[in-house]
Amino acid sequence: MARLDIVQLTKQFGGVTAVDAAQFTVNDNEFMCILGPSGCGKSTLLRMVAGFEAPTSGDIRIDGETIAALPANKRPTAMVFQKYTLWPHMTVYDNIAFGLGLRRLSRSVIEQKVKEALELVSLSGYEARYPAQLSGGQQQRVALARAIVLEPKILLLDEPFSSLDAILRVRLREELKRIQRRLKITAIFVTHDQEEALSLADRIAVMSGGRIEQLDAPSTIYSTPSTLFVADFIGTMNLLQATAAGGELRVGDYRLPAPAGLKEGQVTVAIRPEDVVLGGEGTGWRGTVDQVMDLGHYRKIIAQIPGVGDVKIYLSKMPDVSEGAPITLNPQRWLVYQPDAALPLEYRRAGAVEAAV
Amino acid sequence: MTTQTLSPKTDSPRQWRQAAFAYLLVAPPLLLMLLLIFIPALQSIARTLTVDVDGQVGFSFSRYVAFFQDRISVSNLMFTFQVVFLTLATIFVVCFPLALYLRFAQGRLAAAVQILALFPLFVPGIILCYALIRFLGTRGTLETILNVVGVSGYRTPYLKPEAIIIGLVWESIPFTVLVLTAGLRQVNDSLIESARDVGANDWTIFRRIILPLIMRPVLIAFSLNFLGIFGAYTVPYLLGPAAPQMMGVFMQQTFGQYRRPDDAETQAVITFIICSLVGLLYVRTVAKQRIQQENE
Ligand SMILES: Nc1ncnc2c1ncn2[C@@H]1O[C@H](COP(=O)(O)OP(=O)(O)OP(=O)(O)O)[C@@H](O)[C@H]1O
Ligand SMILES: [Mg+2]
């Protein structure tokens, strides 16, 4: 229901820069994920939006109006925390009604709203329970209900499902997405779980060391990570040292065609496991199978290529490969990261098909 | 789970042995308490409830009737209650902000305040009293300072009820601050932040979130301070007025100066009954806390 602008937002704790000049916009109804490793400043960024941390510099605007000077209790945002979120001395009903009561709504209006919120998170009938009588997943659903019942302009979620087990996490993730779509809430979801981010987000902001490395749709982040950090952090990636010279890339003893516009020098070649096929007589990379991991509907194989190193690939079905057997790899698509270029260059072999897995 | 922890099942031999061992461990202190405290106390209570008329011993409330008909006794009891409640109120007014500050502030100043708040713990009561007399008394430090800054007409609280309250509050600060701060540390930051997030201001957060969550530490501080203050002797004796007196001073005088051990005994039993009611509150609070912790 609103648009959020983060403008050159910086937060320093003593000498530590937790968030470094973050700048982005979350559009109306957009579901934005902030993804990054532990300590990269995700929570700090979110807490500045909520009003729990004062920015060192920069601005936060909702629908064009600055909220940076407002205290947390006056901001039109609502937050779902990671844990210890519900007030243990209040029932589910009172937890959800608390914020409504502060807004001096009539009792019948509050009752109606709490009822709807509980329906939304599929917890009707749990009004009289205390938090200690709920499972972890139910507690987080109540926390979500408590946040959305206030109809916030921006919903903020700081790893709300990270203390739950894997199956429940996936279920709640789907439920959250459904609720967000239905209510058309603008939301920021912080997580260090890339699967969660890739499956939930309209766009993902990948953070590292306080900086936003890339902000794009999940598919773009995955197919074209804009920095080496993102390439390494998202999904599985083979990162190989190479030398660019004479329109070619030298990777160990092998050569790959270089993308157009590549300058000569040391570069890093990034190849997704699914962008490698078997075979390629003559030019193929010859080595041995080091490990085979059966992951159900596909297999992950680590091949040892002398002069190149370990290369991970995915195989969906036959041919049968066993550990120690010879193998020949043929990369189909790769990205080249130059030390001084802002974006990577892509090369795709003619006739290369999109990977099936 | 609560029933199990309250009454351990002792059906298997191993459990029975364990239980027996536990009882063996607590037996010596229990016996000592029985011999030195409970039995003499019961004897005292029994004595206060009997009269000896020409060798004929009979049950009677006459000693209590006498106590409550005596104007001085009643006024001393009432005075004790007044001092206790005013002191308790002052303690919480002083200690809540201190504890909240210590819980939420960080840095050197907080560490210094922490040490200051604990300081009275290391000062014996008698030294505290003389220090307060020198500070608050006529021509004491406070009056001198006030004169220097041009404020005149200082009237010392020394030998007035206020001095008792000041002394007792001072003595109770460390314990109360410790208990309240420990309680506040149990209240997770995100519980407070979520309340602020949905629109609560500081006062609402304190009243609706923090206070209910630390009700037990508050009750513990209340009951233990009550017990300490109700039976206080040194501070009211050295700082307080000659009349009315708090029960501690009153008992000592009745016993030592007026040599009326029977009356002193009655006063002691009345004090004991009042204190055991408050003690019961403490025991209930602690027991409830234990049950809840085991359930969590
Ligand atoms: N109150 C604080 N005082 C000092 N430093 C802080 C404070 N809060 C965070 N930091 C520092 O700021 C950096 C970013 O912390 P933040 O909590 O935002 O990371 P995060 O990305 O949320 O990590 P996680 O995934 O572990 O939750 C860290 O180096 C952290 O130590
Ligand atoms: Mg965090």
Cβ of residue A54 lying under 6 Å from some atom of ligand 1: no
What pTM value is reported for the model? 0.85
Residue B38, in any domain of the structure: no
Tell me which residue of B147, B143, B171 sits closest to B157, measured CA to CA. B143
Query: Is residue B244 in some structural domain?
Result: yes
pLDDT in tens, B53-110: 888 888 999 999 999 999 999 999 999 999 999 999 999 999 999 999 999 998 889 8
Q: Is residue B128, in this structure, part of any structural domain at all? A: yes
pLDDT per residue over A2-29, tens digit each?
Answer: 999 999 999 999 999 999 999 999 999 9
- Residue A356's pLDDT is 43
**Is A345 in a helix, a strand, or coil?**
strand
Q: Angle CA(A69)–CA(A71)–CA(A74) in degrees, nearest 5?
A: 110
Q: Residue A12: what pLDDT?
A: 96
Contacts of B194 in chain A (CB under 8 A): 79, 81, 85, 87, 143, 146
Query: Is the C-beta atom of A13 inside 6 A of ligand 1?
Result: yes
In a domain, B35, yes or no: no
pLDDT of residue B18: 87
Query: Least CA distance to A151: which residue of chain B?
Result: B198
In a domain, B86, yes or no: yes
- Closest of A17, A134, A36, A44 to residue A87, by C-alpha: A134
Query: pLDDT-derived band of residue A352, with 50, 70 and 90 as boundaries?
Result: low
Reduced to 3 DSSP states, what percent helix, strand and coil does chain A have, rounded to the nearest 5? 25, 35, 40
Whole-angstrom Cα distance, residue A198 to residue A171? 15
Write out the two tokens for A72. Answer: 């947390």
Q: pLDDT by residue (tens digit) across B101-141?
A: 999 998 889 889 888 888 888 999 899 999 999 999 999 99
ipTM: 0.85
Span from the CA of A36 to the centroid of ligand 1 (angstroms): 12
Say what the pLDDT of residue B56 is. Answer: 84
Q: What is the CA radius of gyration of chain B?
A: 24
- Whole-angstrom distance, CA of residue A286 vs CA of residue A307: 10
What does the alpha-carbon distance between residue A152 and residue A106 come to, in Å, rounded to a whole number? 19
Min Cα distance A200 → chain B (Å) is 24
Q: Give CA–CA dist B268/B266, Å, rounded.
A: 5
Q: Which site among B194, B201, B205, B291 would you substitute to test the A interface, given the most A Cβ atoms closer than 10 Å to its Cβ?
A: B194
Number of the ligand closest to the Cα of A207: 1
Contact A25, A17 (CB under 8 A): no
Q: Which residue of B has its CA nearest to A158?
A: B190
**CB distance A74–B208 less than 8 Å?**
no
Query: A38 CB less than 6 Å from ligand 1?
Result: yes
Q: How many domains does chain B divide into?
A: 1
B157 inside domain = yes
Alpha helix positions (H), chain A: 42-50, 92-102, 107-120, 136-148, 166-183, 194-200, 218-223, 228-233
Among candidates B209, B295, B296 on the partner chain, residue whose Cβ is nearest the Cβ of A87: B209
pLDDT at A307: 87
Position with higher pLDDT, A321 vs B166: B166
| Domain CATH number, residue B224 | 1.10.3720.10
User: Is the Cα dihedral B92, B96, B99, B103 positive or negative?
Assistant: positive
Instruction: Supply the pLDDT for residue B295.
Output: 62
Helical H segments across chain B, by residue range: 2-6, 13-33, 39-48, 62-69, 71-104, 108-118, 125-136, 141-148, 161-185, 189-197, 202-204, 211-213, 215-230, 234-239, 247-252, 261-295
Q: For residue B12, is pLDDT > 90?
A: no
For A157-208, what is each residue's pLDDT tens digit? Answer: 999 999 899 999 999 999 999 999 999 999 999 999 999 999 999 999 999 9
Q: A209 in ligand 1 pocket by Cβ < 6 Å?
A: no
Q: Report pLDDT digits (tens) over B198-237.
A: 999 999 999 999 999 999 999 999 999 999 999 999 999 9
Put simply, whether B190 touches A (Cβ < 8 Å) is yes
| CA B251 – CA B272 distance, rounded (Å) | 12
Partners of residue A77 in chain B, C-beta under 8 Å: 197
Q: What's at A70, amino acid-wise?
A: L
* B42 falls within a domain: no
- How far is A264 from A132, CA to CA, in rounded Å? 63
- Sequence-distant (6+) residues with CB within 8 A of A160 are A80, A81, A82, A140, A143, A144, A172, A176, A189
- Which among A84, A89, A98 is the nearest to B198, CB-wise? A98
Given this model, what pLDDT does residue A298 score? 85
- The whole-angstrom distance between A78's CA and the closest CA on chain B is 6
pLDDT at B8 over 70: no
Residue B289 is part of which domain span? Answer: 72-295
Residue A171 has φ and ψ, to the nearest 5°, of -60, -45
Cβ neighbour number for residue B59 with a 10 Å cutoff = 9
Read off φ and ψ for residue A10, nearest 5 degrees: -130, 140
Token code pair at residue A66: 């600055």
A84: chain B residues, CB-CB within 8 Å: 188, 190-191
Tens digits of per-residue pLDDT, A128-167? 999 999 999 999 999 999 999 999 999 999 999 998 999 9
Assess if residue B246 is contained within a domain. yes
What is the predicted pLDDT for the residue at A48? Answer: 97
Residue for token pair 């629109």: B199
User: Rounded to an integer, what distance in angstroms lies between the CA atom of residue A140 and that of residue A148?
Assistant: 12
Nearest chain B Cα distance for residue A20, angstroms? 24
pLDDT, tens only, A220-273:
999 999 999 999 999 999 999 999 988 889 998 898 999 988 888 999 999 999
Query: A64-93 burial string, b = 16+ CB within 10 Å, else e?
Result: eeebbeeebbebbbbbbbbbbbbbbbbbbb
The confidence score (pLDDT) of residue B294 equals: 66
Residues 6 or more apart in contact with residue A246 via CB below 8 angstroms? A264
**Other Cβ atoms closer than 10 A to B55:** 5
d(CA B192, CA B203): 12
**Residue numbers in A near B190 (CB within 8 A):** 81-85
Predicted confidence at residue B3, as pLDDT, reads: 41
